[in-house]
Amino acid sequence: MSVNEWVSLSDPLGRAISWQIIPLIKSLESTHCQSLSLEERQCWIPEQTLYASAPKLEAAIKALRPLTTLTSLTLSIPLLFARDFRSWTVQTMNLSPLQYLRIEDWTTEAGSWGVVFEFLRLKHLQKLELSVCNLPAPSQNQLLPY
């Protein structure tokens, strides 16, 4: 099953992928990482993580601190725009001096993009690449208000 076939923690595969992403993000919290690329790949998921506890997962996601040193970010994992991860994703984008942002996503619904773009304030952004379906046309003020 492709990672692009889910965008929710209510799905066992979504929970499993989340448990794999969280340690990576936590390990980056204390670094000065400037470039991060989280991209979808076909991968084997350990069966025990498919049925991990959703409440524990939600608490682990809420405990993540946003990254604040990124100048380049590439995201093609739809889960990072799902309700549970969205706050971390938006805070990381806003608190980092992002100059380059690439988002590739073919599954997130148009309504979810409005919620993401509404809260983005990317004052250092120099290059934006969007490769997404169902994208509502945001005004330039939503992405670059400064």
Domain boundaries in the chain?
A: 3-143
| Residue 86 C-alpha from the chain's centroid | 6
Quote the pTM value.
Answer: 0.74
- Whether the per-residue pLDDT at 47 is higher than 90: the answer is no
Full DSSP string of 109-136? -HHHHHHHHHH---TT--EEEEEESS--
- Taking only the tens place, the pLDDT of each residue in 77-103 is 777 877 788 889 999 999 999 999 998
- Taking only the tens place, the pLDDT of each residue in 118-140 is 889 999 999 999 887 765 555 54
Question: What pLDDT score was predicted for residue 136?
Answer: 58
Give dist(CA 68, CA 133) in Å, integer. 28
